[in-house]
């Protein structure tokens, strides 16, 4: 059986579809700032809500990977889809800051669990030398969803405005799409559950196999992503236009094309080089927000940021997961995404405050400089032999 046939199975494309539907819902919440603003809260408060919301996924990260390794993927696909639906149906009935934060924690934890399970499936389903390719290819579903979600939000608010009825439609749509994601992957499993697998304490596992500096790449990557995930809608409003779909359409197209035509670049040129290049490209993309004055101008930062995202994410996650034994690959994947959670918290809170104090342009320069700096720092790290997993896809630094 060829490598292609072993990787690209019907179940693989079901997981890809589940990732797509989940990201439709996740990217619809890029309009969440509209809801927060309708309640009278500032962009700085929006940053706090986004940052506090990530706490839910951070609390679960140390356990979800281990649970997936022991019990398989299916229970967590179902639980995540249901939790996301409950959270979204609750939002139209929330008004106060702390209630919004609690519901946001549930929503973030649910989507984080679903996407962690997708990443674990992709890592387990692929031959060892093609894990980064597998993660990148299943991520195409995520980019397709990211192209659709903001456009759906644009349509809902363009037809009804920022009214209570519009918010009910908005959050109800997110709930339905989240449940559909769980249905699509209903019969997916990587292998038979193994509840008796040896499960060392997560702390000991991480002490023995700590991934090192690549976790800072995860943090820098996520901090950069908060610009489009949390603040882009408010930036567009500040510039005098409401639609943000052009950004995500261009972003998704650039990322998908790179994932398709350059899917084996990490394998051929090295994952740490690909991470470094991608971070630099994303950083320059953020700076291109500064001259944006019309909706279609969003295409230019989107092309760079989407290209950088396409390169960074699969290689970054694979570098972290590859440091742990194969039986605990879920813990490694969860650790990478947990480091991203730290970045989302820092980005939401710090950049939200910076926007409130200094404005968008100063923030873009700061974010771009930090992201490029992280990429340049990582490329200077000396490659070291990777001996933990003999089937590792390459010898690269942590």
Most confident segment among 181-195, 233-247, 278-292, 384-398: 278-292
**Residue 66 structure tokens:** 């281990």
57 contact partners, CB below 8 Å, separation of at least 6: 108, 109, 111, 112, 113, 337, 338, 341
Euclidean distance between CA atoms 180 and 305, whole angstroms: 29
Is the model's pLDDT at 7 over the cut of 50? yes
Is the model's pLDDT at 128 over the cut of 80? no
In the chain, % helix, strand, coil (3-state, to 5) comes to 80, 0, 20
Tell me the HSE value of 50 on the side-chain side, using a 13 A CA sphere: 36
Chain centroid to CA 146: how far?
A: 10
Is the model's pLDDT at 303 over the cut of 70? yes
**Residue 122 structure tokens:** 């992709």
Euclidean distance between CA atoms 267 and 194, whole angstroms: 30
387 contact partners, CB below 8 Å, separation of at least 6: none
Per-domain boundaries in the chain: 3-187+206-379
User: pLDDT tens, 31-79?
Assistant: 898 899 999 998 889 999 988 988 877 777 767 767 776 777 778 888 8
Euclidean distance between CA atoms 153 and 312, whole angstroms: 27
143 contact partners, CB below 8 Å, separation of at least 6: 23, 251, 252, 255, 256, 259, 306, 310
Average pLDDT over residues 275-282: 92
Average pLDDT over residues 123-132: 70
**Superfamily of 3-187+206-379 according to CATH:** MFS general substrate transporter like domains (1.20.1250.20)
Average pLDDT over residues 78-89: 93
Placement of tokens 């923030």 in the chain? 363
Is the model's pLDDT at 4 over the cut of 60? no
Tell me the DSSP string of 170-215. Answer: HHHHHHHHHHHHHHHTTT--SS---TTS----HHHHHHHT--TTHH
Is the model's pLDDT at 125 over the cut of 90? no
Residue 149: closest CA among 266, 40, 22, 286? 22
User: pLDDT tens, 315-370?
Assistant: 888 788 777 776 666 677 777 888 888 999 999 999 999 999 999 999 999 999 99
Placement of tokens 């995520």 in the chain? 142
Cα(first)–Cα(last) distance of the chain, in Å?
Answer: 32
CA max distance for the chain: 59
Is the model's pLDDT at 390 over the cut of 50? no
User: pLDDT tens, 190-241?
Assistant: 554 444 444 455 566 667 767 778 889 999 999 999 999 889 988 998 898 8
Euclidean distance between CA atoms 346 and 103, whole angstroms: 20
- Give the confidence band of 387 by pLDDT, cuts at 50, 70, 90: very low
**Residue 251 structure tokens:** 């972003």
């Amino acid at each position: 059986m060829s490598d292609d046939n072993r990787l690209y199975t019907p179940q693989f494309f079901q997981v890809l579809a589940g990732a797509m539907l989940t990201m439709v819902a996740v990217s619809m919440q890029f309009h969440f700032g509209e809801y927060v603003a309708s309640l009278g809260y500032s962009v700085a408060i929006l940053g706090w809500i986004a940052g506090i919301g990530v706490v839910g996924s951070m609390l679960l990260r140390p356990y979800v990977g281990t649970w997936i390794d022991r019990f398989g993927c299916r229970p967590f696909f179902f639980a995540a889809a249901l939790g996301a639906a409950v959270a979204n149906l609750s939002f139209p009935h929330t008004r106060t800051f702390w209630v919004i934060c609690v519901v946001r924690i549930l929503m973030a934890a649910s989507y984080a669990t679903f996407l962690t399970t997708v990443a674990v499936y992709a890592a387990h389903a692929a031959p060892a030398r093609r894990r980064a390719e597998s993660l990148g290819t299943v991520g195409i579903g995520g980019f397709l969803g990211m192209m659709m979600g903001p456009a759906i939000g644009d349509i809902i608010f363009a037809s009804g405005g920022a009214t209570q009825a519009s918010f009910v439609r908005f959050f109800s749509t997110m709930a339905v799409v989240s449940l559909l994601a769980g249905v699509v992957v209903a019969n997916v499993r990587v292998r038979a559950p193994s509840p008796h697998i040896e499960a060392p304490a997560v702390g000991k596992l991480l002490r023995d196999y700590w991934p090192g500096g690549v976790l800072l790449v995860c943090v820098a990557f996520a901090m950069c992503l908060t610009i489009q995930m949390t603040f882009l809608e408010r930036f567009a409003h500040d510039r005098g236009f409401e639609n943000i779909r052009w950004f995500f359409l261009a972003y998704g197209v650039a990322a998908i094309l790179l994932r398709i035509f350059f899917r084996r670049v990490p394998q051929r040129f090295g994952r740490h080089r690909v991470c470094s290049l991608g971070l630099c490209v994303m950083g320059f993309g953020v700076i291109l927000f500064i001259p944006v004055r019309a909706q279609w101008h969003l295409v230019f930062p989107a092309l760079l940021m989407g290209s950088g995202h396409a390169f960074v994410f699969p290689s970054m996650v694979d570098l972290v997961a590859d440091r742990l034994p194969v039986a605990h690959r879920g813990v490694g994947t969860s650790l990478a995404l947990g480091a991203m959670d730290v970045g989302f918290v820092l980005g939401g809170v710090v950049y939200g405050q910076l926007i409130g104090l200094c404005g968008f342009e100063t923030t873009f320069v700061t974010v771009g400089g930090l992201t490029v700096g992280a990429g340049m720092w990582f490329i200077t790290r000396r490659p070291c032999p990777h001996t933990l997993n003999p089937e590792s896809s390459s010898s690269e630094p942590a």
